[in-house]
Amino acid sequence: AQSVTQLDSQVPVFEEAPVELRCNYSSSVSVYLFWYVQYPNQGLQLLLKYLSGSTLVKGINGFEAEFNKSQTSFHLRKPSVHISDTAEYFCAVTLLSGSARQLTFGSGTQLTVLP
Amino acid sequence: EAGVTQFPSHSVIEKGQTVTLRCDPISGHDNLYWYRRVMGKEIKFLLHFVKESKQDESGMPNNRFLAERTGGTYSTLKVQPAELEDSGVYFCASSLRAGRAPRGNEQFFGPGTRLTVL
């Protein structure tokens, strides 16, 4: 079975500062990796995903993430955050093959951008 | 194109009552998933439909939960009778069939239904 750990439940950061949200996963087989964001009163929206190829993945709203297979990590980064980035961020994995298609999520990281 | 919609957005019921949640996936999406987030914990998988068939229901917590997807379009999730621990946010997601989704079977989520059992 696979699992996802988001090490920080809350991350406060000042506007225009850089931010990194950490995600580690555990799986006995290869997985796809995702970051989703949930803005207040909205559904989850896909930020970016890693399927294969370049380990640095760029997503929407200036976010990027780097897949590190040896460290089983997929940390999310943004060089300069805005107030509008305040939201909850979820890291998730799904199996690369087989019939199971569900996502396994981490517990989420609440990013709060302060003025 | 309309996204995934869920109804109701909020539901408050008493223990022992019945509640039915509805999900309308994106048109043409064969895969439909139900997830639940309880008390700020991680979002957990409940079950997966491919068209009208249950592909995987390994995440359903017990037999008080019944999911249907008649005709392969919208889905309902019924909780009967509801217990206090069923409170949480229920998310629905949909995606194309795996064979037609080379980008990793992206799932599109609805806004969720917040269920409160008193």
Could you tell me if B105 lies within 8 Å of chain A, comparing CB atoms?
yes
Contact indicator for B110, B82 with CB cutoff of 8 Å? no
pLDDT bracket for residue A99 (50, 70, 90): low
Contact indicator for B21, B6 with CB cutoff of 8 Å? yes
pLDDT bracket for residue A108 (50, 70, 90): very high
Which residue does chain B place closest to A47, by CA atoms?
A: B106
Query: How far is the C-alpha of B59 from the C-alpha of B47, rounded, in Å?
Result: 6
Please report which helix (H) or strand (E) contains residue B84, including its range. none
Chain A closest-CA separation from residue B118 CA (Å):
22
pLDDT bracket for residue B104 (50, 70, 90): low
What token pair was written down for B112? 């969720």
Q: Which residues pair with A77 in a beta bridge?
A: A20, A64
Q: What is the pLDDT of residue B103?
A: 44
Model confidence pLDDT, tens digit, residues A28-87: 888 889 999 999 888 899 999 998 888 899 999 999 999 999 999 999 999 999 999 999
Length of chain B: 118
Query: What is the DSSP secondary structure assignment for residue B70, as one 8-state letter?
Result: G
Do A49 and B112 lie within an 8 Å CB cutoff?
no
Query: How far is the C-alpha of B55 from the C-alpha of A88, rounded, in Å?
Result: 29
Say whether B13 sits in a helix, a strand or coil. strand
Among A105, A46, A109, A53, which Cα is nearest to B106's?
A: A46
Core vs surface per residue B94-114: b (16+ CB within 10 A) or e: bbbeeeebeebbebbbbbbbb
Question: What is the DSSP secondary-structure string of B83-96?
Answer: -GGG-EEEEEEEE-
Do A32 and B48 lie within an 8 Å CB cutoff?
no
Contact indicator for A77, B12 with CB cutoff of 8 Å? no
Query: How far is the C-alpha of B112 from the C-alpha of B92, rounded, in Å?
Result: 7
Query: How far is the C-alpha of A25 from the C-alpha of A87, rounded, in Å?
Result: 22
In chain B, what residues touch A108 (CB-CB under 8 Å)? 40, 42-43
Could you tell me if A36 lies within 8 Å of chain B, comparing CB atoms?
yes
Do B106 and A105 lie within an 8 Å CB cutoff?
no
Could you tell me if B94 lies within 8 Å of chain A, comparing CB atoms?
no
- Asked whether residue B99 carries a pLDDT value surpassing 80, the answer given is no
Query: Nearest Cβ partner of B31 from A36, A101, A104?
Result: A101
Model confidence pLDDT, tens digit, residues B49-97: 989 999 899 999 999 999 999 888 999 999 999 999 999 999 999 988 7
Q: Which residues pair with B7 in a beta bridge?
A: B22
Do A43 and B44 lie within an 8 Å CB cutoff?
no
Do B56 and A99 lie within an 8 Å CB cutoff?
yes
Please, how many CA atoms are within 13 Å of residue A76, restricted to the half-sphere of its CB? 31
